[in-house]
Amino acid sequence: MSAHGVVNPATEEVIGTVDLCDAASTDAAIERSHKAFSAWRAVSPGDRARLLRRFAEGVDANLEELAQLEVANSGHTISNARWEAGNVRDVLNYYAAAPERLIGQQIPVPGGVDVTFHEPLGVVGVIVPWNFPMPIAGWGFAPALAAGNTVVLKPAELTPLTAIRIGEIAREAGIPEDVLQILPGRGAVVGQRFVDHPLVRKIVFTGSTAVGKQVMAGCAAHVKRVTLELGGKNANIIFADADLERAAATAPYGVFDNAGQDCCARSRILVQRSVFDRFLELFEPAVNGVVVGDPAAEATEMGPLISAEHRSRVAGYLNETTVAFQGDCPDGPGFWFPPTVVLPASNSERVVTEEVFGPIVTVTAFDDESDAIALANDTEYGLSGSIWTTNVGRALRVARAVEAGNLSVNSHSSVRYWTPFGGVKQSGLGRELGPDALHAFTETKNVFIATD
Ligand code: NAD
């Protein structure tokens, strides 16, 4: 164990220290998790459902505390942070209905009866990034626990506080000891042990594509199950027949929410050439209207970036492109960066091809539907995207043609816990949330019983 300072990104003040697990304490936690598995999977479905609902009630009762903790640790706006804690509650409630509905099949076969069971996997390792510490943790642990698995969860180095508190709430709600363990620590130590330890049967990894590839390669050595939620470079496609006022008014929030530190950020705006100038006229005041500042203030719409190092990485993109206009942000302490709009000279600029993960958006013109689709798909990523048009046929044609896991028409919403979420191409593998996510945490077992 070693101590690690946690910094408030809006003030640069150290707000606490957290003990980081080392490899030996991680192994010991995995072994305890494995020991807890046989009793947890044997908890009757109704009791497991009741415990998860009580856990959800605990999150709800502590929602404001969790939200304030996220504001302080991650610089999220208070309104976002409340939504994020509420999402953990909702996802727990949603999957609390699952243990009593984990129904197998009875398959007609000659000579006997054939039935299938959805068996839990064992210990599941959940590895979480810093950009949405609460929801991403919940999308992993809630269905994993509901299906009868035990969970070891590693928060990101920079943002461990809400996960630690959620682990305490789970215990207070009666989730048995060692069924959900929160292990703060470094990716190369704790995360790597999750990947390498043979008793961890599945990894749920959310983070960068580069680390995701290493995790997948490490899992291959054990044929370990893996779900990957990786980066994105998502297009916001605006056709000339769209409600241009609404498209321009909402576009800033489609990319600058969470200061652009969102795998679903619509960071490439593609606008049909005939309305390109008009769109920019409407877009500039909308960008200037984004309220950037103290994340604890109710009216704030965008907070700081997560760290000084991340801010200089984001700023680096502006050395190689043309800034059209920028909004405002506070001076002084805090890792501030203004909402920034770029008109790239070419689609090969890094700001167009790479995930910036900050409040920078590019705006590019296209000629027609096929041009828009080609530009949208000109990336190794495929997570989300938006399509703005009043033509229903076009909306569906383009939605089917864009290579991404989550698309929205006349909206920028990607995440609803009732519906599947995940990426294609190098944005990930597998789906979280929705009615089917539970099966990513079970194996189908087939049993034949001879009757002859
Ligand atoms: P990251 O890849 O640096 O780290 C993610 C997590 O992996 C952290 O907890 C880190 O400690 C851990 N880690 C690092 N090295 C590891 C290793 N060798 N083995 C195991 N674990 C290791 O990503 P980040 O900078 O924290 O997060 C930003 C990235 O996450 C962006 O690319 C973003 O697009 C992506 N993201 C994707 C989704 C999605 O659902 N698709 C959601 C949020 C964020």
CA distances from 302 to 65, 128, 289, 339 (A): 20, 22, 11, 9
pLDDT category, 413, cuts 50, 70, 90?
confident
For residue 145, which of 57, 23, 207, 56 has the smallest C-alpha distance?
A: 56
Summarised one tens digit per residue, pLDDT across range 6-51 is 999 999 999 999 999 999 999 999 999 999 999 999 999 999 999 9
The secondary structure of 305-351 as a DSSP string is -S-HHHHHHHHHGGGGS-EEEE-----SSS-----EEE--SSTTSHH
CA distance 178 to 254: 39
Domain topology for 2-230+425-450 = Aldehyde Dehydrogenase; Chain A, domain 1 (3.40.605)
Residue ranges, CATH 3.40.605.10, the chain: 2-230+425-450
CA distance 240 to 231: 29
Q: Check pLDDT > 90 for residue 1.
A: no
Q: Which listed residue (21, 219, 263, 264) is catalytic?
A: 263
The architecture of the domain spanning 235-409 is 3-Layer(aba) Sandwich (3.40)
Ligand 1 atom 32: residue of nearest CA: 208
Please state the atom number of ligand 1 nearest to the C-alpha of residue 423. Answer: 41
Summarised one tens digit per residue, pLDDT across range 315-351 is 999 999 999 999 999 999 999 999 999 999 999 999 9
Q: Check pLDDT > 90 for residue 4.
A: no
Check if 357 has its Cβ closer than 6 Å to any atom of ligand 1. Answer: yes
Check if 191 has its Cβ closer than 6 Å to any atom of ligand 1. Answer: yes
Ligand 1 atom 18: residue of nearest CA: 188
Whether 354 sits among the annotated catalytic residues: the reply is no
Summarised one tens digit per residue, pLDDT across range 153-192 is 999 999 999 999 999 999 999 999 999 999 999 999 999 9
Q: Check pLDDT > 90 for residue 297.
A: yes
- Mean predicted lDDT score pLDDT of the chain: 98
The predicted model gives 303-307 an average pLDDT of 98
Compute the distance from residue 128 Cα to the ligand 1 centre, in Å: 6
Q: Which listed residue (84, 229, 301, 432) is catalytic?
A: 229
Compute the distance from residue 401 Cα to the ligand 1 centre, in Å: 28
Residue ranges, CATH 3.40.309.10, the chain: 235-409
Q: What percent of the chain has pLDDT over 90?
A: 98
Please state the atom number of ligand 1 nearest to the C-alpha of residue 185. Answer: 11
Whether 263 sits among the annotated catalytic residues: the reply is yes
Compute the distance from residue 150 Cα to the ligand 1 centre, in Å: 22
The predicted model gives 296-307 an average pLDDT of 98
Q: What percent of the chain has pLDDT over 70?
A: 100
Compute the distance from residue 195 Cα to the ligand 1 centre, in Å: 14
Ligand 1 atom 31: residue of nearest CA: 208
Q: What was the pLDDT predicted at 414?
A: 83
Q: What was the pLDDT predicted at 97?
A: 97
Q: What was the pLDDT predicted at 227?
A: 98
Contact 354, 332 (CB under 8 A): no
Please state the atom number of ligand 1 nearest to the C-alpha of residue 432. Answer: 40
Q: Check pLDDT > 90 for residue 2.
A: no
CA distance 266 to 269: 7
Contact 163, 182 (CB under 8 A): yes
Compute the distance from residue 337 Cα to the ligand 1 centre, in Å: 22
Summarised one tens digit per residue, pLDDT across range 355-387 is 999 999 999 999 999 999 999 999 999 999 999
